[in-house]
Structure 1
């Protein structure tokens, strides 16, 4: 007896194969948005506030990612920042940010990236209840491809990467980001004021995916942020963990994501969390 149902690929949940697909699509999409940037950027809409923007390139890039994923793996689901929402039939959902760092992209600042992760359900892993088992982040301005799969380590342009290993907060270069509403920014200003006297310095690059990868390769020692969404962190979490980093939520009962994440050396993140939250 034959069936018209699609057969399950032999590599259905093979993290290395999924990472290869994520990397391929991330890079091709990165080349697309770089071409669109050269042709000029058009703001299409705003989201949480007037400064939280969406460009036409965001939408075109997400469409390209979704089409590529569905062509390769038609039974997988997709969750995209710009509205893609396809239920999964295979147990795997791809979490996509077509341009993480859209404001940088608008202004021509070289810190934006395409972030793609293959995830499976895991309530303990992150606030959205998913765990990335493969992922890639591609930064077109620097032509840097970060990729990882569960248990396989993390790489940048094919070379293994690792966190800096810095455990002294006073010697730590910390990345962070700010929200798009006045209320959220006021809260974040208080957090920065607690940390700034204690750390080496603070950087705000404008792309959570790029920040997480920067910690993974040792350019930043640690990172924290409030208000991230799954597409901001899905691939970055995996890449950072596979590079030896630890990621914490607001407290022991809250998985990382919304409302807060803290990332860095396993011996550092608890102290970082305590300082930012005013617990010390």
Structure 2
């Protein structure tokens, strides 16, 4: 990275460097190590909420690498990594965000790694190997994108806010069928109020795309901490507003990120349409 983007806090600089390297290694494993006969290892909330052997392998790689360098840190990982730690730092890891895309050979998937210090997210990295893009942010230090796996970091800024009816907004759908039906109803009511709706299948990439100005907004119900921790910080550090229901932080109840000017009217519609409940 260039000198102007290095955090001045030595701990944050260390956490960022470790997150970037762990994300890079996991991205290489997932991109280059995907077997042709990739199959489902197990399911979670429903038969279509899947885990592959590569999710498990990537989380093992990430947690092993981070534990080697910072053995006293805690972990919270999608595929089961969980420990409290004693250092005040906890890593929140989604080793493969967009597993169904990955299973089908679609390119929209990412590795998401965040570091919390005393309960607050201070570092976020999203590695998108099939885009050859790395997104990263440090609390108070801005958000950056590096394309092509090398070269300079470009500082990110959310799009200038259009009128809501010209806003391009992304969302996601739960794997439980009854929940998906309500989410589809919310999306149907929103579509006439927006330019259009997109559905990528990766919360980490959607949040990063808000940061990069490729989307005006993103919302989803049912996310877990590992889905949103890194991407939420990246979006905020790029100047987007993030939250949940009015006055609440992003959570599994509702996560919303959008350009200022789009955020409040979109949040109001989501509240009116009941996007925060099943």
* TM-score in same-fold range (> 0.5): yes
Partner of 2:5: none
Q: Is the contact between residue 150 and residue 238 of structure 1 (CA under 8 Å) also seen in structure 2?
A: yes
C-alpha displacement of 1:273: 1.1
Partner of 1:268: 262
Does residue 55 of the first structure (1) align with residue 52 of the second (2)?
Answer: yes
Count residues in correspondence. Answer: 261
Whole-Å separation in 2 of the counterparts to 1:41 and 1:166: 42
- Give the counterpart of 1:74 among 65, 71, 74: 71
Q: Is the contact between residue 76 and residue 88 of structure 1 (CA under 8 Å) also seen in structure 2?
A: yes
Superposed, which structure 2 residues align to 1:189-208 within 5 Å? Answer: 189-208=184-203
Q: Is the contact between residue 194 and residue 278 of structure 1 (CA under 8 Å) also seen in structure 2?
A: no
Whole-Å separation in 1 of the counterparts to 2:204 and 2:120: 16
Unaligned runs of 5+ in 1: 1-10, 122-129
Unaligned runs of 5+ in 2: 1-7, 147-152
Superposed, which structure 2 residues align to 1:111-126 within 5 Å? Answer: 111-121=108-118
C-alpha displacement of 1:12: 8.8
Partner of 1:30: 27
Partner of 1:259: 253
C-alpha displacement of 1:186: 1.5
C-alpha displacement of 1:276: 2.2
Q: Give me the CA root mean square deviation.
A: 1.7
TM-score for the superposition, normalised by structure 1: 0.89
C-alpha displacement of 1:249: 1.0
Whole-Å separation in 2 of the counterparts to 1:262 and 1:167: 17
TM-score for the superposition, normalised by structure 2: 0.90
